């Protein structure tokens, strides 16, 4: 790997020392398949060309110091980890990964580290998974560990779910590791297998518009939505004892329509979103394989309507960005990420991209009195491709 910004930071903060190991992992955009991953369903993310880079070099003692440029702070601890208490900030993601690694192996020495990245924080592009995967890959390289890709992804997800306290599915970490340039990943989150889908829609561009509304998923409605899905699964399993329902993945439209009048209304809406969103993922694959941007746009809009009305995770700022986009030339747009803030994904004709970006920024500023950050995104390699070709 070329000399990196993380390496430069490492030397600036901690002076000269042994040659560091460097790892990189991207953020991701989930094209479609929102809130389906923890329901053992289908998702269709792609890794983006924005990433987190981690540089680590060994120490002779068991002390750990890691600096991050994002907030200009240094986190310090000692091995073995004596505390597993959350600190409520960015270091929790590092502690969580160290915690999961330490449960399986003994880390013989400490390290100095530095982190640099350009994945926007809190915008629904999974900066947390990008950090976790980059840090985990760097640890594997630093200590010469034998950890296969899927196990590393599971370790990172466990760090976020069990330590940080965000009950996330595995999609974000999976995409950060296995993503490929020019392709989306059709991931079956039950089987934990994927296939690649070409992401080549001629004459179009994907744009992320960050609302600037930050949401902390660990303390937001995300956990509540997951609990509702689990409650709905139990309700349906009792109602249909012979159908082997263990997750909302196992529910179909006919089954759901049959209980519309008796199932608690909120739970019914949550299930309907998941069932229909899984179907949209399959339809999206077909649209991509046919190179049909109009159908892709339609599915994006349908997904957003469902997230807004059935899963109820949108907010006025997000709805404004989607509605403005559709009225002003977007082929489709939707909320991306867990919701309650964050960003929207827009599919726009390439020839109108510059005009569109200026227009949506001005409209958002006029409506809400603050700026929306507009980010053009392309696909990029995941950590596996970056480090193993």
Is residue 161 situated within a structural domain? yes
Is residue 256 situated within a structural domain? no
pLDDT digit string, tens, across residues 298-334 = 999 999 999 999 999 999 999 999 999 999 999 999 9
Ranking 116-120, 171-175, 322-326 by mean pLDDT, the lowest is 116-120
Q: How confident is the model at residue 218 (pLDDT cuts 50, 70, 90)?
A: very low
Is residue 211 situated within a structural domain? no
Pick the catalytic residue: 37, 92, 112, 172? 172
Is residue 55 situated within a structural domain? yes
For residue 389, the model assigns a pLDDT of 47
Adjacency order of strands within the sheet including 373-376: 332-336, 343-349, 204-210, 373-376
For residue 81, the model assigns a pLDDT of 85
Is residue 32 situated within a structural domain? yes
CATH number of the domain that 156 lies in?
3.30.230.10
Is residue 113 situated within a structural domain? yes
Cβ contact 215:340 at 8 Å: yes
Is residue 224 situated within a structural domain? no
Q: Give the number of domains in the chain.
A: 1
**Mean pLDDT over all residues of the chain?**
93
**C-alpha 323: how far from its chain's center?**
23
Backbone angles phi and psi of 349, in degrees to 5? -60, 135
Is residue 238 situated within a structural domain? no
Cis peptide before 80 (omega within 30 of 0): yes
pTM for this entry: 0.91
Beta bridge partners of 348: 205
| Range of the structural domain that residue 137 is part of | 5-198
Say yes or no to pLDDT of 189 above 70: yes
Q: What is the dihedral of CA 256, 219, 152, 142, to 10 degrees?
A: 170
Give Cβ neighbours of residue 86 (< 8 Å, ≥ 6 apart).
Answer: 92, 95, 163, 164, 165
Q: Say whether 37 is catalytic.
A: no
Give Cβ neighbours of residue 53 (< 8 Å, ≥ 6 apart).
Answer: 4, 5, 6, 22, 23, 24, 115, 116, 117, 134
For residue 85, the model assigns a pLDDT of 79
**pLDDT: which is higher, 214 or 236:** 236
């Amino acid at each position: 790997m070329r000399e990196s910004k993380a390496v430069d930071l490492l030397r600036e903060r901690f002076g000269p020392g042994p040659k560091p190991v460097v790892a990189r992992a991207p953020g991701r955009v989930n094209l479609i398949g929102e809130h389906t991953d923890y329901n053992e369903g289908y998702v269709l993310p792609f890794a983006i060309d924005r990433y987190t880079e981690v540089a680590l070099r060994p120490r002779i003692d068991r002390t750990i110091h890691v600096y991050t440029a994002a907030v200009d702070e240094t986190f310090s601890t000692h091995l073995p980890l004596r505390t597993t208490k959350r600190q409520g900030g960015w270091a929790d993601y590092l502690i969580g990964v160290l915690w999961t690694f330490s449960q399986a192996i003994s880390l013989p020495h400490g390290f100095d580290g530095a982190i640099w990245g350009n994945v926007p924080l809190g915008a629904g592009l999974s900066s947390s998974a990008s950090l976790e995967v980059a840090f985990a890959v760097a640890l594997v390289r630093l200590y010469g560990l034998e950890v296969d890709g899927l196990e590393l992804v599971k370790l990172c997800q466990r760090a976020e779910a069990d330590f940080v306290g965000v009950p996330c599915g595995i999609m974000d970490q999976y995409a950060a590791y296995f993503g490929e340039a020019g392709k989306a990943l059709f991931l079956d989150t039950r089987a934990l297998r994927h296939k690649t889908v070409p992401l080549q829609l001629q004459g179009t561009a994907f744009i992320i518009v960050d609302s600037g509304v930050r949401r902390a998923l660990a303390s937001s409605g995300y956990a509540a939505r997951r609990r509702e899905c689990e409650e709905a699964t139990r309700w349906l399993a009792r109602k249909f004892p012979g159908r082997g329902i263990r997750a909302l993945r196992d529910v179909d439209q006919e089954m759901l329509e049959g209980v519309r009048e008796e199932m608690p209304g909120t739970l019914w809406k949550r299930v309907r979103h998941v069932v229909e969103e899984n179907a949209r993922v399959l339809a999206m694959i077909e649209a991509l394989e046919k190179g049909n941007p109009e159908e892709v746009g339609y599915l994006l809009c349908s997904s957003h309507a469902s997230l807004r009305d059935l899963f109820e995770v949108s907010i006025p700022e997000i709805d404004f960005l989607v509605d403005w986009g559709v009225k002003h030339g977007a082929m489709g747009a939707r909320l991306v990420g867990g919701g309650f803030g964050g960003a929207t994904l827009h599919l726009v004709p390439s020839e109108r991209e510059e005009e569109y970006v200026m227009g949506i920024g001005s409209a958002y500023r006029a409506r809400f009195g603050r700026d929306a950050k507009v980010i053009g995104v392309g696909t990029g390699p995941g950590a596996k491709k970056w480090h193993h070709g």
